[in-house]
């Protein structure tokens, strides 16, 4: 057990000797492009909420390296049980941007049929399990899935995320305890971004770190610089490989910072010191990785423009397509309840359809309450 903060890139983007994972140039540029696109997606999502075009948004600004570096260590066949601040993984797994944005609007193109809050995605084709608002529930789900995979002999690893606040949930204890006892192939990633809404990490725990909590559960715990994408990748790759070998789970604490407010319903300026924010702003993970790419002659102004403008254009096209879609049909609320609808539900559905046809209900369906 080590409390040392593992890092590879210094603030000038230079890799420490012997620590660079030496990823291929095309993969390094791909990761940078994904980081830029993730931030552009976040910027547009918040703008749409402020314009009143969607009801809610939650950003991952400043945490792009943390979740992209972690998920990049997985195979496409591995599963993710996310929290709600890892949108870059959807882009990494090639989920169409239009599908992502349709979820914000909760329209007919939304895979969740408008039943979830915005940014609470679920994409089966990407092995990306539904995000839920209750804190920590995904940890026990990932542990259970990992236990099942081990029993079946599947060559699958499960990665799950939570914030520093999630370590105070009962599911944190339950998930880590079961996973360790049954040697489930799970990587638990705690994105310690300093704040659980307005509660600072210092009031969240008296432990020296989040990673040290792993010792009590009988698994390795690692602290890594969450703004260093190469360090996050390297640590998580080792944890993923360990899990795949049947050696059980690992707890990874990525030390990062939430640059934005908790959500579009929050104002971090009311409880967060401006000096703290400015200090972390200088440690921007995108800027740091950009400097690294510059040193390897993999970044140019033309490449930057391609990344930025390409992301903005793709997002704009997706927004246009999403806004053109209608709301989900009202009677879709009866779908997916049972494999076969009961006679009572069939009767209720027909009654609802009749009311809609008469104009008695339906005009305000689809409006998000926040």
Active site residue 57: no
How many other C-beta atoms lie within 10 A of the C-beta of residue 316? 12
Please give the DSSP secondary-structure letter assigned to residue 260: S
> Is residue 270 annotated as part of the catalytic site, yes or no?
no
Question: How far does Cα 25 stand from its chain's mean position?
Answer: 25
Query: Which structure tokens are listed for 144?
Result: 């259970």
Helix (H, G, I), strand (E, B) or coil at 306: helix
Residue 79, classed as helix, strand or coil, is strand
Whole-angstrom distance, CA of residue 306 vs CA of residue 172: 41
The three-point CA angle 267-268-271 to 5° equals 115
CA 292 to CA 298: how far, in whole Å?
Answer: 9
**257 part of the active site:** no
Which residue of the set 44, 67, 223, 258 is catalytic? 258
CB 368 within 8 A of CB 116: no
Neighbours of 2 (CB within 10 A): 12
The sign of the CA dihedral 118, 124, 125, 127 is: positive
Catalytic member of 93, 115, 271, 283: 271
Q: Which residues contact 123 (CB under 8 A, 6 or more apart)?
A: 90, 93, 95, 99, 111
- Residue 295: how many CB atoms within 10 A of its CB? 14
Positions annotated as catalytic residues are 258, 262, 271
């Amino acid at each position: 057990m080590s409390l040392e903060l593992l890092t590879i890139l210094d603030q000038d983007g230079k890799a420490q000797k012997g620590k660079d994972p030496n990823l291929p140039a095309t993969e390094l540029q791909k990761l940078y492009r994904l980081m830029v696109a993730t931030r552009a997606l976040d910027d547009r999502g918040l703008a749409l909420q402020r314009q009143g075009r969607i009801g809610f948004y939650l950003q991952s600004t400043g945490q792009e390296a943390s979740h992209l570096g972690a998920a990049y260590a997985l195979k496409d066949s591995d599963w993710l049980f996310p929290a709600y601040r890892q949108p870059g993984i959807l882009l990494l797994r090639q989920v169409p941007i239009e599908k992502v944005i349709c979820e914000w609007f909760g329209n007919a193109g939304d895979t969740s049929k408008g039943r979830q809050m915005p940014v609470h995605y679920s994409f089966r084709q990407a092995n990306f399990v539904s995000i839920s608002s209750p804190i920590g529930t995904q940890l026990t789900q990932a542990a259970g899935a990992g236990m099942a995979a081990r029993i079946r002999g599947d060559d699958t690893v499960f990665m799950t995320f939570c914030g520093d606040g999630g370590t105070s949930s009962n599911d944190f204890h339950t998930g880590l305890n079961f996973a360790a006892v049954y040697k489930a192939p799970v990587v638990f990633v705690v994105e310690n971004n300093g704040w659980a809404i307005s509660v600072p990490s210092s009031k969240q725990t008296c432990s020296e770190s989040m990673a040290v909590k792993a010792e009590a559960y009988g698994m390795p715990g690692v602290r890594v610089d969450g703004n260093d994408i190469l360090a996050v990748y390297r640590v998580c790759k080792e944890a993923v490989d360990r899990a795949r070998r049947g050696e059980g789970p690992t707890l990874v604490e990525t030390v990062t910072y939430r640059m934005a407010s908790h959500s579009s319903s929050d104002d971090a300026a009311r409880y967060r010191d401006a000096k703290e924010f400015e200090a972390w702003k200088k440690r921007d993970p995108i800027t740091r990785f950009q400097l690294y790419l510059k040193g390897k002659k993999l970044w140019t102004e033309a490449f930057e423009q391609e990344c930025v403008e390409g992301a903005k254009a793709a997002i704009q096209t997706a927004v246009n397509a999403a806004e053109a879609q209608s709301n989900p049909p009202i009677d879709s609320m009866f779908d997916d309840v049972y494999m076969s609808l009961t006679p009572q539900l069939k009767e209720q559905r027909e009654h609802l359809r009749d009311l809609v046809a008469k104009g008695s209900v339906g005009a305000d369906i689809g409006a998000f309450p926040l």
